[in-house]
Amino acid sequence: MIKVIIIEDEKNAIKTLQSYINKYTSEISILGIANNMKEGIELIKTSKFDLAILDINLGDGTGFNVLEAIEDKDFGIIFTTAYDEYAIKAFKYSAIDYLLKPINPKEFVEAIERYKTNITNISNKQLKIARTINNNKIVINSTNEMHFLELDEILYLKSDKNYTDIYIKNQQRITSTKTLKFYEQLLSENRFLRIHQKYLVNLNYIRKYLKEDGGYVLLTDNSKLEVSRRKKEDLMDALLK
């Protein structure tokens, strides 16, 4: 049985969540509900639970404030919000999911399922590490694994339809369930640049820019990635910085 707490300031939203849990999930029990940030912090500190469904806008604070007040973030987190501008920040906290309100019941169920999958593979300790992530680390969710990578380890990311192949230093390849677009946004403040529809590249590993055939970059591991005409200028700018 998965113990869930709900931190949410809107009564109707709490009702919807309770309804969704009851109707569309199994083996989940609601351990407690908090109506604002203060109660939320209190609830997290005083109860033993597995998964927090955390609203971002809490009236007296945000869901992020709640997490900042907690040291051992050894639990799963599903963010809910009516706004989508927090998505990237949410993922920095290794949220399992980020649900926009009104919540699509299908997406809610998928999020719960994802937690269940993760929990079998990832220990709470790993979660804890994941939650201490800083700007130089990234958590990558593959189909049934969670990878904790230093950004420096990543050479480039390649789009594979709705998945993303992440090429890391030791010739390894990890396939993430997120789109390349997602990582582009996630890593926009780091030295990663979308050079092509297919590629997001770590600028630190570009060895050469080849003008042939419309432009390529040669990476330190000799991978040769095409550069989109539309991105040449951006690439030059970024490289010269």
Partner 1 sequence: MNIKLIYSLFLTYFVFCSAISQDLTHAKNFSIENGISSSNVYSIYQDHIGYMWFGTDVGVSRFNGYEFENFAHKKPPFNSPVTKIWEEKHTISFTNMNNNFYSIINGEIIETSSKKNDTTLNKNHFDVSKNEKLKKNFENIEITSTFLDNKKGMWVTTLDDGIYYIPDHKFIETRPSNNKIYGLGVFNDNITYGYKTSTSLKIIDKPKFSEAEIHFHKNKLYYKKELIYTFNGNYINSSKKSKSRFIKQNKEFIYFIGDTNEIYKIDPIKKSQLVIKDHSLLNISSLGFNSNDELLIGNNNGIYNYTQKKHILLDPLNKNNNYKIISINSNLRNELIVATKSSGIFLKDKNNLFSKINNEKINSSYINALDLDKDDNIWIATNNGVYKINKNNSNIDLHFNNQNGLLSNQVNDIIFLNGKIYTAHNKGLSIININDYNSNGDSTNVTIPYIRYDNEKINNPSNEITIDSKYSYLTINYLAINYKLKGEVNYKYKINGIHNDWIFTKERKVQFTTLPEKGTYIFEVKAQNEHSIWGKTTKLKMRFLTPFYKSWWFIALIIFFSLISLWLITRAVYKRKLKMNRLLTEKLDFEAKALQSQMNPHFIFNALNSIQSFITVGDIMNSEIYLAKFSSLLRKTLNYSNHNTIILSKEVENLKIYLELETLRFEDRLNYEIIIDELVESDLIKIPPMLIQPFIENSIIHGLTPKPEGGKIKIHFYLKGENYLVCEIIDDGVGRQNKINSAHKSLGTSIVKKRLSLLSIEVPDYLKYTDLKDELGEPKGTKVKLTIPIK
> Within positions 22 to 51, which residues make up the interface with partner 1, using CB under 8 A?
23-24
- 131 or 196: CB nearest partner 1: 196
Nearer to partner 1 by C-beta: 148 or 182?
Answer: 182
CA distances 95 to 50, 59, 130, Å, are 13, 21, 10
Sites for partner 1 among residues 125-184 (CB under 8 A): 159, 180-181, 184
Residues of this chain, 184-223, that bind partner 1 according to CB under 8 A? 184, 194, 196-197
Shortest gap between Cβ of 180 and partner 1 (angstroms)? 7
Asked if 108 contacts 96 with a C-beta cutoff of 8 angstroms, the reply is no
Contact region with partner 1 (CB under 8 A), list: 30-38, 147-155, 168-176, 229-237: 229-237
Identity of the residue, 24 or 207, whose beta carbon is nearer to partner 1 in the bound complex:
24
Residues 6 or more apart whose CB falls under 8 angstroms from that of 92 comprise 133, 186
Nearest approach in angstroms of CB 106 to partner 1 is 6
Q: Supply the DSSP symbol for 71.
A: S
Report DSSP letters for 160-210, one per residue: ETTEEEEEETTS-EEEESS-HHHHHHHTTTTTEEE-SSSEEEEGGGEEEEE
Does the footprint of partner 1 cover residue 10 (CB under 8 A)? no
Looking at beta carbons only, is 33 or 157 nearer to partner 1? 157
CB of 110 to partner 1, least distance (A): 12
Cβ-count burial of 237 within 10 angstroms (0-12 exposed, 13-18 middle, 19+ buried)?
exposed
Closest CA to 67 of 89, 85, 100, 48: 89
Smallest separation (angstroms) from partner 1 to the CB of 143 = 22
Q: Least distance from C-beta 104 to partner 1, angstroms?
A: 4
Residue 107 binds partner 1 (CB under 8 A):
yes
Q: How far apart are CA 157 and CA 201, in angstroms?
A: 6
At residue 130, what is the residue type? A
Closest CB to partner 1 among 41 and 217? 217
Question: Residue 157 corresponds to which amino acid?
Answer: L
CB contact at 8 A, 173 and 157: no
Distance CA 141, CA 136 (A): 17
CB nearer to partner 1: pick between 11 and 230 = 230
Nearer Cβ to partner 1 (100/146):
100
**Residue 102 binds partner 1, judged by CB under 8 A:** yes
- Residues engaged in binding partner 1 (CB under 8 A): 23-24, 84, 100-107, 159, 180-181, 184, 194, 196-197, 228-231
